[in-house]
Structure 1
Amino acid sequence: MNFLGTWLKPVSANEEQIYKILTPHPRIIVFQGIAELDDYNDCLILEHHSNGNLWTYLLNNEIPPLAKQINWALEITEGLSYIHSKAVVWADNHFSNILVTKDLHVVLADFAFSLVSPSLFHKYTTLPPPVFTCLKGYYGIASSHVDIFAFGVMLFALLTRRFPWSANLNPSLDEQFQVMHTHRQYKWNVIEDETLKGYFGMIVEKCFKIVLTDGVQVPMPS
């Protein structure tokens, strides 16, 4: 609910706790406290961003310059690195939970399902959209690699304008499940452009294969 330039979201004790741990930070949506409204349940008061989420933005706007897409990837990694430094696993890392600011930067949002220092064999009860889902993480040891895998999917999509094993950025739910099952078989799509592959191919592969578990370094091509 948009209210006087802010976004009001029904409060959950877990998400309130996560925002108190993570904010303020330039790559995390601004949390302004709790609204106690007579006609509504208590709500989180969050900064409103009229450009919406990154997935919708990519689908409904002209293709941004490659440098802008790489900068978004850098900003996402900045946010992820900070989240993980606070012992938080986002666990719902995908384009719809990344918001585009008025000046076309990105901030991370929606931590309702996030965890603080999850137990070694924690079983997640929720999943992101299937195309972002790290099956190894959701059916095994809980750690930040579920976020790193999803970042690999996003980096691939920003660079190629399509999701792995898909033709575009708008695959149907059935197509997303097929991608998820392909990943279950440890089959990873590769970047076709040789220049981009040279810069980013190894990073994407390491994200997919869960080689990276604590932080991602994205280069900016000269």
Structure 2
Amino acid sequence: MEVFACLDDEHWTKTGPFSTIDLERRIYEALGQHPHIVPYREVNKFGELILQRLSKGTMHTHLLENDPPFRTRMRWAAQVAHALARVHQCDIVWNDCHFENVLIADHGDAAICDFGGAYIKPNPMTSFVIGPPLPFLCPWPSYGQTAMRNDIFAFGVMLFALLSKRFPHHHDLSPDLDACISINEHHKHRSFDTLSAIKYPLFSDIIHKCFKLEYSVAGEIVPELEKACNDWVESFEKTWRTLIKVSRPIMH
């Protein structure tokens, strides 16, 4: 069993089986420093993993309690995609992509954590029966196909939920176990929820491609997601400028 504890104002510790802690150490050292991966410090003499403490809590908590604006949620999605791209670039499968494993820093940016269930250079025949929790879990085995599919599918679920403030085939961000099982059954039968292509231009296509596993690695998602974010910002600013112009009082 893994146990987390606050070490001081800036760090927290993670204890667990030696094999798990050593795996995470190797992964953090392979990943190096990245702005959207929780900073790793060391494994101390007690065999505890020392990580930088991000005290603002998980992404899920922020979504439920703070109702962040669309622009913030969009930024978080891009940041997770960049972090996941680094993970895949190092030939690592995170295998635990979900909201509780994304932390929010004091300055408001997102950082991923927890690589206890990850794989380094996995065998192509690895089935990945164990992975992220429902409803993020990819419901199909990965024999002979890209090992990163679990991460890509889970990111699609995360992106859908971030943008729409609800999980696929559900009405909010707090599905109970029965609802999670139902969502997984939809996915198992390739019944995918969709977002409006009008309301979410480009984003809806990225989500669809994640669900269909049309990406091989997260690095393929990043440029498309960046374009979607930039296009949305440009469209928003254009609309805002138009509204300001229309709402100006007529001067006599």
TM-score (normalizing by structure 1): 0.92
Residue 126 (structure 1) aligned with residue 130 (structure 2): yes
Q: Which amino acid aligns with 1:154?
A: M
CA distance in 1, matches of 2:147, 2:61: 28
The corresponding residue for 1:103 is: 107
- The separation in 2 between residues aligned to 1:135 and 1:117, in whole angstroms, is 21
Is 1:65 aligned with 2:69? yes
Give 1:156 shift. Answer: 0.5
Tell me the residue number matched to 1:89.
93
Stretch deviating more after TM superposition (118-127 or 155-164): 118-127
Q: 1:135 to 1:142 in 2, by over 3 A?
A: farther
Residue aligning to 1:13: 22
1:207: which partner in 2?
210
**Structure 1: gaps (5+ residues):** none
Deviation of 1:138 after TM superposition, in Å, equals 5.7
- The two structures, once aligned, show a CA RMSD in angstroms of 1.6
Measure the CA separation in 2 of the matches of 1:65 and 1:52.
Answer: 17
Deviations 1:193-217 (A, max 9, x none): 7221x23111110000101121213
Task: Give the TM-score normalised by structure 2.
Answer: 0.82
Structure 2 equivalent of residue 146 of structure 1: 150
Q: 1:92-128 CA deviation, whole Å, 9 max, x = no partner?
A: 1111101000011000100001111111111225221
**May I ask how many residue pairs the two structures share in their alignment?**
216
Q: Describe the SS at the equivalent of 2:41.
A: strand
Structure 1 residues 139 and 57: CA distance shift in structure 2, 3 A: farther
C-alpha offsets along residues 39-79 of structure 1, whole Å, 9 cap, x if unaligned? Answer: xxx21000111111111221121x21211111111101100
* Residue 141 of structure 1, CA deviation: 4.0
Asked if the contact 1:97/1:108 (under 8 Å) is kept, the reply is yes
> What secondary structure does 1:135 align onto?
coil
Aligned residue for 2:56, secondary structure, equals coil
Within the candidate set 31, 39, 49, 1:44 is matched to 49
Whether the aligned pair in 1 keeps the contact of 2:117 and 2:131 (CA below 8 Å) is no
**Contact 2:148–2:216 at 8 Å: present in 1 too?**
yes
Q: 2:183 aligns with which of 179, 186, 192?
A: 179
* Aligned partners of 2:135 and 2:180 also within 8 Å: yes
**Residue in structure 2 matching 1:29, options 26, 34, 38:** 38
Q: State the one-letter code of the partner of 2:63.
A: L
Inter-partner Cα distance in structure 1 for 2:147 and 2:35:
24
Do the aligned partners of 1:151 and 1:207 also contact (CA within 8 Å) in 2? yes
Do the aligned residues in 1 keep the contact of 2:62 with 2:68 (CA within 8 Å)? Answer: no
Contact 2:153 2:210 in 1 (8 A): yes
1:155 corresponds to 2:153: no
Identity of aligned residues (%): 31
Question: Is 1:194 paired with 2:198?
Answer: yes
Aligned to 2:243: none
Mapped contact 1:35–1:44 kept (Cα < 8 A): yes
Between 1 and 2, higher relative CO (CA 8 Å, sep ≥ 6) is seen in: 1
Matched, 1:117 2:126: no
Structure 2 segments unaligned to the other structure (5+ residues): 235-252
Greater radius of gyration (CA): 2
Runs of 4+ in 1 over 3 A off after TM superposition: 137-142
Provide, for residues 11-60 of structure 1, a one-character-per-residue CA deviation record: whole Å limited to 9, x for no partner.
522111111111211111110001224xxxx2100011111111122112
Structure-2 residue corresponding to 1:170: 174
SS in 2 for 1:33: strand
1:55 paired residue number: 60
